[in-house]
Amino acid sequence: MLNAYYVDMLGHKSVIRELSEYATERKRAVGEENVYDFSLGNPSVPAPDSFNEACIRLMKEEDSISLHGYSPSVGIYKVRKQVAESLERRFGIPYGPEHIFPTAGAAGAIAHALRAVTTPGDEVLVFAPYFPEYGPYVTGTGAKLVIAPARMEDFQLNLEAAEELISERTAAVLINSPNNPSGVVYTGETLEKLAGLLTRKSAEYGHEIFLVADEPYREIAFDNTPVPYTAKYYKNTLTCYSFSKSLSIPGERIGYVAVHPEAEGADILIQVFAQISRGIGHNCPSSLIMRAMGETVDDTSDLAVYERNMNLLYDCFTSLGFTVPRPGGTFYIMPKALEEDSVAFCRKALKYDLVFVPADGFGAPGYFRIAYCVTTEMVERAIPVIERFVREEYGK
């Protein structure tokens, strides 16, 4: 018999996917260039040449058996060292290879981090707006997802709500900055307050509450303002990273968990992750991709396009009178819809072949998400269409 839980999931297709499928159909009907598809977070710039070059060099120079052979269950030592040194250089935290665990992207990183610090029945707190996949990520571990409602005035962390929601059963808090869908970067002040709260609650309940920091957009930061590094504020932090966005290689499934050297269990967590891998059938990312990532750990694609696109869209929406938090990073922007029902708003936009995603599913009702990982040329062509849509539908 098929597992009813998973079969049931088939009935709940994500809104993003439905919209994206609709967009694909429309493209077939009216031509790719006539559909303004802002639905999907798929990087739109090529990987840096250095990444492919590293892959090719490894295949030409390395012995096949050692290059393509099994990796140790905790990942390849040299790569873990390359990541640790890069993090120490950039953020001043003395990571060693013993704190780095390579994974299949941030999804794999979060799967390991959450399982390591929760026990089925525990609670994991997330802050709206949040990436909807956190639902299956958390429930897949057997833990319970608890959602702090969004702080609508600036989409920073709603710590007042967290104060109420953190309980004895809270094992971990999962945050995402720069944030998908809002684009907002949590400030140092916000993270400091969060750290204070978690320290106090950990003492109150007699167990450490872990902070799982999901930071795949860390390298896409705007206005020359770097993204505060969460682990600097709270030692029980497991940093989950993906190279999907920085290197534009989401299909290659490569990322890591970095365990703060002073975290509870820092001496064994990497080994615990390796045990978790056995149970979920994920034994290390591809060895070739892992090695090439190690060689290019500090490189990035040309990410400037995202800031250009953000500025164009931010100016467009503000000049049209939208309420819109200014993104500090990512390739998302999240304006407030012009009517309470953002689904109705997005449906009207579809008539203009503008594909926006209602942010209700992200925990920001009344808002919508635009993924601007597209060409600047496409953004420029979309702006007059957006203006026409707003004028014709909302008289602005």
Which x/- pattern, by CB under 8 A, does the window 363-392 give for a copy of itself?
------------------------------
* 103 binds a copy of itself, rule: CB under 8 A: yes
Which run of H or of E encompasses 54? helix 49-61
Give the residue with the Cβ less far from a copy of itself, 184 or 295.
Answer: 295
* Distance of closest approach, residue 69 Cβ to a copy of itself, in angstroms: 5
Burial class (CB in 10 A: 0-12, 13-18, 19+), 329: buried
| 309-348: contacts with a copy of itself (CB under 8 A) | none
- Answer for which of 18, 25, 119, 204 binds a copy of itself (CB under 8 A) is 119
In the numeric block, which tokens belong to residue 220?
A: 């896409």
The verdict on 7 binding a copy of itself (CB under 8 A) reads yes
Q: What is the distance of C-alpha 190 from the center of its chain?
A: 19
What is the smallest separation between the CB atom of 261 and a copy of itself, expressed in angstroms?
A: 16
Which of 213, 192, 199, 174 shows the shortest CA–CA distance to 264?
A: 199
Where are the extended beta strands (E) located within 188-337?
210-214, 237-242, 255-259, 332-333
Give CA–CA dist 175/185, Å, rounded. 11
112 touches a copy of itself (CB under 8 A): yes
Instruction: Specify the stretch interacting with a copy of itself by CB under 8 A; choose among 37-45, 88-96, 328-336, 379-387.
Output: 37-45
Looking at the Cβ atoms of 57 and 326, the one nearer to a copy of itself is: 57
Cβ atoms of residues 221 and 228 within 8 Å = no
Confirm if 297 and 314 have CB atoms less than 8 A apart: no
Q: Phi and psi at residue 169, in whole multiples of 5°?
A: -85, -5
SS3 content of the chain, % helix, strand, coil (to 5): 45, 15, 40
The reply to whether 289 sits near a copy of itself by the rule CB under 8 A is yes
Q: Which of residues 264-283 bind a copy of itself (CB under 8 A)?
A: 264-265, 268-269, 271-272, 275-276, 278-283
Least Å distance, CB 340 to a copy of itself, is 30
Footprint (CB under 8 A) of a copy of itself, residues 197-226: 207-208
Q: How far apart are CA 191 and CA 195, in angstroms?
A: 6
Q: Would you count residue 248 as binding a copy of itself (CB under 8 A)?
A: yes
Q: Is 3 in the site for a copy of itself (CB under 8 A)?
A: yes
| Footprint on residues 167-196 left by a copy of itself (CB under 8 A) | 171
